[in-house]
Amino acid sequence: MEKRDKNISYLRFVITYNIVLLIPLLIVSFSVFYMVHRQHYRKIMDETAVSAERQADYFKQQIAVICAYNADCRYSKIYSRQYSANPPVSYLEIAEDLKKKESTFPFVDSMYYYFPDEERKVVSSGGTFTEDLFFSRICRMDRNLLGKMEDIGLYAVRAELYEGSSMGMVIICPLKTWMEKGKSDTQYLFYVIRDSKLMEQFGGSGMPYEDITMVSFQDQVLFSSRKGDNRALLNGSRGWEQLLEEKDYYRNITDMESGFSALTFVSKEEVSRSAVSYFRGYGIWILCSVAVGILLALYYSRKKYQSFRSLLDNNEMLEEERNLLRAENCLYELLTKEVKPGDELWERCLKSSIHINRRHLFFAVFPKIEENRELYEIFHTQMNDYSASTAYRIVLFEEMYVYLVCSDESMGDISRRLEKISGSGVKLGVGRITSDVGKIRFSYEEARRELRREQHEEQRFPGQELKALKDAAGLADSVRTVILLTELKEIVSEVKESMALCITWEVMHILNREPEEFFDGRGDGELTKEELSVFFGRMIEEQAAFSQDEEGNGNYRKKNIADILDYINGHYLDDNFTVKYMAACFDTSVSNLSHFFKKNMQVSISQYVEKIKLERAKELLADSDKKISEIAQLLRYGNSTVFIEMFKKYEGITPGGYREKIWKSRM
């Protein structure tokens, strides 16, 4: 909210004292632009109408040719049994006649004559086909439509042609002749026109703008010159309205008779783009005038505003980092402490946006493997997009995802969703769904046990748990160490004694403890699993005590902090210096490193880096004659203004004033 208020105050200042003077000029300029645009629109629509009329006239001529062919075929002795002197009709004669008609009618790709009666043949200039072959491979369309067309002079449909290699329009003409005794005989003449032919005629108007032309028959779109996927246009009744009603198009409709219409759509954006040439010179002059005025108005405000934004962004980054560390610490504590509604941990969780006050809580654990990629998307993204459930990741293992799920859904809905997820072949352990926040720790333990059973790893060596323990111990993260020791204690109780001893020895090595401290010098063969369990219990108690000391007095262990400080002081001016890169160098995660540094130094890494940069700046100001801009560049500040503002924020004086003060004291 603070950021928004400051932005508004800055804009109010600029508008009130500078840009308000440009308002009359802007009003005149936009009025002229609007008039030019309206005039250009009328010109475009007139040109579109003329082009559409020309296309419609051509299409009408082709339909007239088709009607003439229909009449010729209807009363021809070659096609009709009624007028043929020697029935049955010869397919060869029909094929020759169709070939002759096709040669004089380039608008049509091919013509077919269909006998739906006993023969069930389709004749073309290239041969004779069976009914099934024609409608399944050569011209795929719904043959059931033919029975509804006997009394219609002409009909058009869209079809897949030549085994789906192309699309096109088929004009169907029923040829119905009356036989003796009142019987009728109906054959069909098909005119196949591919989209490529229609594109030649309707694909472009030749205008300096892009338009879309559609040919429809009885409100069914059969062709579109629109580039790309046209299935939405060509599917269903009046699909063009459903697709284009949400867009800003100019529309022109031309009746082409016989049930055909041409619909031309011109994008308003295209019209505006094509109008640029009419007012480019005037527009450039206006824009230059406005730009110069704005630059002069903002010249002195820009530097102050940049400094303000830099400080604001830095504060937001620090606040975000602090909130992340708080939330992470709360999640760790949920696995080690008993929480009750209204207590201190409960309030801290809610303040950190961890909704443990929801109806149901449970843990989900799954390994980081390829089969679980979809599972990661569900918990990390989809579930957090759903307002009734939220999943919080707890970073315990490098190769394992641990999520706390807080949901307001019903128990049945959650169970059905988990069953659906588990049935897709993923490796997933889910703890008991509970409404008692005090039992949330047990849900995690159940989830881990279920995952081990599902993966048949009850007797496996816990390599990733030990690696995570080494990472937590190295960073002096006592809370996380307690969680991992508790999990290792449970694993030790389940595995064989030989593996339990190996695990115990590894833990001693990680925690730098000697076996004599616990086992009085006895050999491996003399130790029981009960004694090993006691050892883990003592270790957990010690780490829990460390954690309480950290919360009570802030006396954190300083192990390895010297190495981190040495690295920062040696590399903070490197081009590739980032917290992520530093975390990789120390073989840990960004969150672990940031948390450990904050606990030990009481400041974030970015604040510490800023501090040592300013100390270096004071040395350069006192002992060199470098310019302020050179020092800012050397210390990797964006510009000298940011450096000056940052220096003044921490030291209460500008760099120039500090240098002058030091030199005067020396003199």
Delimit the domains of the chain by residue range. 46-268, 458-557, 561-666
> Count of residues for the chain?
667
Of residues 99 and 554, more confidence is placed in 99
Would you state the pLDDT for residue 384? 66
Would you state the pLDDT for residue 2? 41
Q: pLDDT tens digits for 506-536?
A: 888 887 777 666 665 555 556 777 878 888 8
Q: Three-state SS for 150?
A: coil
For residue 316, what are the contacts with CB-CB under 8 A and spacing of at least 6? 3
Averaged pLDDT of the chain: 77
Using alpha carbons, select from 657, 643, 656 the residue that is nearest to residue 314.
643
Q: Are 430 and 362 a contacting pair, CB within 8 Å? A: yes
Strands 260-267 and 360-367, how do they pair?
Answer: unpaired
Would you state the pLDDT for residue 520? 58
Looking at the chain, the whole-number percentage of residues with pLDDT higher than 70 is 77
Greatest CA separation found in the chain?
132
Would you state the pLDDT for residue 320? 76
Of residues 479 and 241, more confidence is placed in 479
Would you state the pLDDT for residue 3? 42
Would you state the pLDDT for residue 555? 35
Of residues 657 and 385, more confidence is placed in 657
Would you state the pLDDT for residue 286? 76
Q: pLDDT tens digits for 526-567?
A: 677 787 888 888 888 877 776 665 554 433 333 467 778 888
Confidence label for 207 from pLDDT (cuts 50, 70 and 90): low
For residue 460, what are the contacts with CB-CB under 8 A and spacing of at least 6? 452
* Top-ranked range on mean pLDDT: pick from 1-10, 69-78, 284-293, 620-629: 620-629
Q: Are 394 and 331 a contacting pair, CB within 8 Å? A: yes
Question: Distance between CA 474 and CA 586 in Å, rounded?
Answer: 10
pLDDT value at 162 more than 60: yes
Task: Name the β-bridge partners of 156.
Answer: 171
End-to-end CA distance of the chain: 49
pLDDT value at 85 more than 70: no
Question: Distance between CA 648 and CA 640 in Å, rounded?
Answer: 12
**Alpha-carbon torsion angle 66, 70, 71, 74, nearest 10:** 170
Of residues 443 and 424, more confidence is placed in 443
Q: Which CATH number fits domain 46-268: 3.30.450.20, 3.40.50.720, 1.10.10.10, 2.130.10.10?
A: 3.30.450.20
Would you state the pLDDT for residue 62? 86
pLDDT value at 143 more than 80: no
Mean pLDDT, rounded, for 427-442: 86
pLDDT value at 444 more than 70: yes
Strands (E), 179-276: 184-194, 211-217, 220-224, 249-255, 260-267
Looking at the chain, the whole-number percentage of residues with pLDDT higher than 90 is 0
Mean pLDDT, rounded, for 365-372: 83
Q: List Cα–Cα distances, 508 to 298, 499, 543, 616, in angstroms.
A: 65, 14, 13, 43
pLDDT value at 376 more than 70: yes
Of residues 159 and 84, more confidence is placed in 159
Which of 24-33, 191-200, 510-519, 571-580 is predicted with the least confidence, judged by mean pLDDT? 510-519
Confidence label for 17 from pLDDT (cuts 50, 70 and 90): low
Burial class, 148, CB count within 10 angstroms (exposed 0-12 / middle 13-18 / buried 19+): exposed
Confidence label for 186 from pLDDT (cuts 50, 70 and 90): confident
Which of 231-240, 421-430, 485-494 is predicted with the least confidence, judged by mean pLDDT? 231-240
Mean pLDDT, rounded, for 48-74: 84
Mean pLDDT, rounded, for 564-572: 84
pLDDT value at 188 more than 60: yes
Q: Are 297 and 18 a contacting pair, CB within 8 Å? A: yes
Question: Distance between CA 648 and CA 310 in Å, rounded?
Answer: 14
Q: Three-state SS for 652?
A: coil
Question: Distance between CA 178 and CA 168 in Å, rounded?
Answer: 32
For residue 140, what are the contacts with CB-CB under 8 A and spacing of at least 6? 159, 160, 161, 164
Would you state the pLDDT for residue 560? 60
Q: pLDDT tens digits for 311-346?
A: 556 667 667 777 777 888 888 888 878 888 888 888
Crossing angle of helices 276-334 and 23-74, rounded to 10°? 100
Confidence label for 95 from pLDDT (cuts 50, 70 and 90): confident
Q: Which two tokens stand for residue 647?
A: 């220096």
Q: pLDDT tens digits for 475-488?
A: 677 778 888 888 88
Burial class, 223, CB count within 10 angstroms (exposed 0-12 / middle 13-18 / buried 19+): buried
Would you state the pLDDT for residue 204? 61
pLDDT value at 125 more than 50: yes
Confidence label for 661 from pLDDT (cuts 50, 70 and 90): confident
Would you state the pLDDT for residue 180? 61
pLDDT value at 246 more than 60: no
pLDDT value at 290 more than 70: yes
CATH topology of domain 561-666: Arc Repressor Mutant, subunit A (1.10.10)
Please report, as a single letter, which amino acid is at residue 202.
F
| DSSP assignments along 352-379, one per residue | TT--TTSSEEEEEEEE--GGGHHHHHII
Q: Are 504 and 535 a contacting pair, CB within 8 Å? A: yes
Which of 42-46, 65-69, 179-183 is predicted with the least confidence, judged by mean pLDDT? 179-183
Q: Which two tokens stand for residue 61?
A: 């001529």
Predicted structure pTM score: 0.42
